[in-house]
Structure 1
Amino acid sequence: MAETLIDVDLCIIGAGSAGLSVAAGAAQLGLSTVLIERGEMGGDCLNTGCVPSKALLAAGKRATAHRMTDIPGIKGHEPDIDFGAVKGHVAATIAAIAPMDSQERFEGFGVKVIRASARFVGPDRVEAGDTVVRARHFVVAAGSRASIPPISGLDPDKVLTNESVFDLRDRPDHLLIIGGGPIGIEMAQAHRRLGCRVTVVDMGPILPRDDAVCVDELRAILSAEGIDIREHVGITRVEHGRDGNPQSVSLTIKAADGTQSELNGSHLLVAAGRKASVDGLGLDAAGVAHDRSGIKTDARLRSSNKRVFAVGDIAGGPQFTHIAGYQAGIVIRNICFRLPAKVDYSHMPWVTYTDPELAQTGLTEAAARKTHGDRIRVVEWPFAENDRAIAEKATVGRVRIVALKNGRIVGASILGAHAGELIGLWALAISRRLKIGAVAGMILPYPTLSEAGKRAAGVWYTPTLFSDRTRRLVRWLRRLPF
């Protein structure tokens, strides 16, 4: 069959969060736009990532609410959980959101959607099925996939990843999870609350990019729920199907002191990082520099071929859906408006959606001390001293704020109920280079969880406000007539 050649302003490879955002913006701004996707519209976020994981976590949280006895007069009980039906809820959630990412919707914007694999065949051409697309600009948004570590005996075809775990309809008896990052920890709590035994194994500490004080508190909460967390251990061997069940698995683990032991589980979930989907794209033919971490880009997200941009997980930067959307805006400004917009991740927030949630923006205390030495101060306020948290029996966690000695906010960490909703204020403060007094002086409604952040900011002034010097000043001032 003869190939069809089409000429457009913009060709986008990948219809995940990043690619869809670029396509919608470019088409509505008048650029002729082609979007190529070989898999499902919506990419990982909709189908195997953010959306299904939050739906599963919501089910686990609802189940735990039935068990709670912390409010007198309400008797807790063990809920009757139909695991398969819960997965039906997950599928229904995806289906409810899918129309927003559908081919029909984007064709309504004027985007030409091609459902095929894409491959560069030159610096300005991409082949997709029987079509060759020649474009002034390209945006590669091909995403990433689960990385399978090279462990002796580990068979990639016999493990669960984020791409398969949500299709599992039978409840695991004992779920083993390799990886203590956000995905591993979220799935650990969700499955534990839905009635599974869960063990998490990691060669380092869990959630290493987050504030250590908040992680310590969250670790204790997860352990109290019955999640077995094994940190700083290596896995020397994996054995599948020893008992005749192809899903069952045995892990030989080695602790830091050299002692070895064995973990046996009914299922194995691998959540040990992501691998950029660069294979098969023909990037060398386009002169696009890349490696295992993704496409090499500058601060404007341009590759070594200046007509080719990269966004989302394949760009080698932070792997979050909201960052993909942010990067899409940077690319739109560069391509559509010819503005030299550049990425700035200094105020980037992220959330681990456990219960309680763990949120971070800017620098953690450890990162701030590494960058600024002793030129920082850390202030905090516990939710145990927040009236709304007390009323709702949600007193675990705290707000921790990192600021320079002059008061400029450089980081915030929140562990607590709705932390993901509370972190935005602090991301804005960092992006606008605000000082902590701006938050301390806010008027907030009472009673709200957000007051914990204001009280943390107020702690900054406590040593000065209630010092001997200030008391002497007040005593002197009260002698003066009104």
Structure 2
Amino acid sequence: MAPSDGIIDFLVLGGGTAGIVGAKTAAGFGATTVLVEQERTGGDCLWTGCVPSKTLLSAAAQAKTLRKQTGQEPDFQAVRGRIATAIRTIEPEDSSEALEKAGVQVLPGRIIFTGPGTAELDGRPLRFRQALIATGGQPADPGIPGLDPARTVTSETVWDLEELPPRLAILGGGPIACELGQAFARIGSDVTMVVRSAILAKELPEAVDIVRESLKADGVTILENTTVTTAANYDGGVRLQLADGTAVDASTVLVAVGRTPRTINLGLEKVDVRTDGRGHVITDERMRTSNPLIWAAGDVTAQPQFTHLAGVHASVAASNAVLGLRRRISTAVPRVTYTSPEIAAVTSTGSGDGQAGTPRTIWHSHLDRAITADRTEGFTRLLVGRRGRITGGTIVGPRAGESLAELSLAVHKKLTTSDIAGTTHAYPTYSDGVWNAAVLDVRERLASPLTGTAIKALARIRRVVIDGRRINSKPGTPPESGARH
């Protein structure tokens, strides 16, 4: 619906997850909302991120099982078809039509801020009261001399490959690199990862060790603590020269060395929106920028780059903008690396306990569901702060991301291990690991000298009370019958 006075209440730049959620939230509150997207709505998650990569991982897991059972090699074209089907099935939820139905006007084109409350869309002037910057990010350029773009793909263009690369070199060791590396290895590529430091550097070393061994078992060669100095084409592929003097030959190179925010040529200086040294829009805990009438969410900000955070943060931003609220984003930040096994973790970015705490670990060799599934190569670890408060945790195992939800809620709501231990959990499940780790902490705290002395004293008092009732009761009368109610 067009604004009656020609001024847009809420202007959204970008049609990815953050833009879609922010626009729908604002429109739902009655604000005239316009979303501008220069390509297609849905963003990285739908077209080149979450949806295609998780579909690929599922297909790769099935391919591994099929090869083991029958010796049949995967059909890469069938895998590509399955990815296309998944995207096609989910796409209507993120489409322009769905946004229009929700009350959001969608305009195609390139937009730039021109001054306070003004912007231009392909030269057409627009006026707005408030705006949400949700332009996302893009794969970073590794800047390697001689690397031929024609033989290079990124997390955005790898889906355009029409044939399975026989030899795939991956630059990077983060979640994207590990997930795609394992998937392509299981489908049939000869995969080599070249990692500047170590794979999954943000995760616990014990968790990384398990995933590293799993990647190697699937045939992935991992070269850590090394870099590519130069690259050159040769007959049939690319030769990557490494800093240690060795070389890696590949038919295709997948660059996965991080992402950079899309903030260039947005005219941010015209509206006093500040960025950090890497170009990310700076926001406060309410997702407001240095301009109090302009907000930001998603990968364009310096917040952790996860789809779930983009959506939640955009909802917070739109609610604060349209209703004048002062909602703050949660300090609980969950993340999942969807390798096999998965690594799922949640940490707190807030003050106080933060990530500090006593670790309580249940190894899955002692977890009944893991034993029955013959998947014991993992663990569940809670970080426990003062008074038993759960400050974070890590889970390694099949579907670890599903069990993480309980830990994320615990960190967000400042629950204690006693809260978890006192909640009945279904048996046998992988979430038993969370419950068992909580029970372990409760028992450890009960075993402390001070608590132990108090418990023993209560037990003695209770024994005296029961003995007194037994002695004073009449023959044939239950000991409790004389108690007053």
TM-score, structure 2 normalization: 0.89
Structure 1 residue 273, shift from structure 2 partner: 0.3
Name stretches of at least 5 consecutive residues in structure 1 with no aligned partner.
69-75
Aligned match for 2:234, one of 236, 242, 259: 242
The answer to whether structure 1 residue 358 and structure 2 residue 354 are counterparts is no
The answer to whether structure 1 residue 279 and structure 2 residue 264 are counterparts is yes
Structure (1 or 2) with the larger CA radius of gyration: 2
CA distance 1:363–1:129, shift in 2 (3 Å): closer
Partner of 1:71: none
Partner of 1:251: 240
**RMSD after superposition:** 2.4
The answer to whether structure 1 residue 349 and structure 2 residue 334 are counterparts is yes
Structure 1 residue 371, shift from structure 2 partner: 6.3
Q: Is the contact between residue 302 and residue 309 of structure 1 (CA under 8 Å) also seen in structure 2?
A: yes
Aligned match for 2:367, one of 348, 371, 386: 386
Structure 1 residue 6, shift from structure 2 partner: 4.0
The answer to whether structure 1 residue 189 and structure 2 residue 182 are counterparts is yes
**Quick one: distance in 2 between partners of 1:467 and 1:328?**
45
Q: Is the contact between residue 194 and residue 226 of structure 2 (CA under 8 Å) also seen in structure 1?
A: yes
Partner of 1:267: 252
Per-residue CA shift, 1:9-46, capped at 9, x if unaligned?
01101000000001111112111011100011101110
The answer to whether structure 1 residue 300 and structure 2 residue 286 are counterparts is yes
Name stretches of at least 5 consecutive residues in structure 2 with no aligned partner.
471-485
**Quick one: distance in 1 between partners of 2:457 and 2:195?**
56
CA distance 1:386–1:128, shift in 2 (3 Å): same
Partner of 2:297: 311
Partner of 1:339: 325
**Quick one: distance in 2 between partners of 1:328 and 1:369?**
27
Of 134-143 and 432-441, the range deviating more from structure 2: 432-441
Structure 1 residue 350, shift from structure 2 partner: 0.5
CA distance 1:317–1:293, shift in 2 (3 Å): farther
Q: Is the contact between residue 223 and residue 229 of structure 1 (CA under 8 Å) also seen in structure 2?
A: yes
Structure 1 residue 279, shift from structure 2 partner: 1.4
Aligned match for 2:107, one of 101, 110, 114: 114
Of 30-39 and 116-125, the range deviating more from structure 2: 116-125
Per-residue CA shift, 1:162-198, capped at 9, x if unaligned?
1110111201111100010010000001101101111
**Quick one: distance in 1 between partners of 2:318 and 2:89?**
28
Of 180-189 and 82-91, the range deviating more from structure 2: 82-91
**Quick one: distance in 2 between partners of 1:464 and 1:136?**
55
Q: Is the contact between residue 140 and residue 308 of structure 1 (CA under 8 Å) also seen in structure 2?
A: yes
Of 262-271 and 76-85, the range deviating more from structure 2: 76-85
The answer to whether structure 1 residue 401 and structure 2 residue 382 are counterparts is yes
Structure 1 residue 466, shift from structure 2 partner: 6.8
Q: Is the contact between residue 11 and residue 133 of structure 1 (CA under 8 Å) also seen in structure 2?
A: no
Alignment of 1:60-459 (within 5 A): 60-68=60-68, 76-239=69-232, 241-243=233-235, 245=236, 248-254=237-243, 259-291=244-276, 292-344=278-330, 346-362=331-347, 372=356, 376-459=357-440
CA distance 1:289–1:82, shift in 2 (3 Å): same
Q: Secondary structure at the match of 1:315?
A: coil
Q: Secondary structure at the match of 1:312?
A: coil
**Quick one: distance in 1 between partners of 2:328 and 2:301?**
14
TM-score, structure 1 normalization: 0.89
Q: Is the contact between residue 57 and residue 183 of structure 2 (CA under 8 Å) also seen in structure 1?
A: yes
Structure 1 residue 308, shift from structure 2 partner: 1.3
**Quick one: distance in 2 between partners of 1:478 and 1:466?**
20
Q: Which letter does structure 2 place at the counterpart of 1:90?
A: I
Q: Which letter does structure 2 place at the counterpart of 1:252?
A: Q
Structure 1 residue 67, shift from structure 2 partner: 4.2
**Quick one: distance in 2 between partners of 1:155 and 1:396?**
40
Q: Which letter does structure 2 place at the counterpart of 1:189?
A: Q
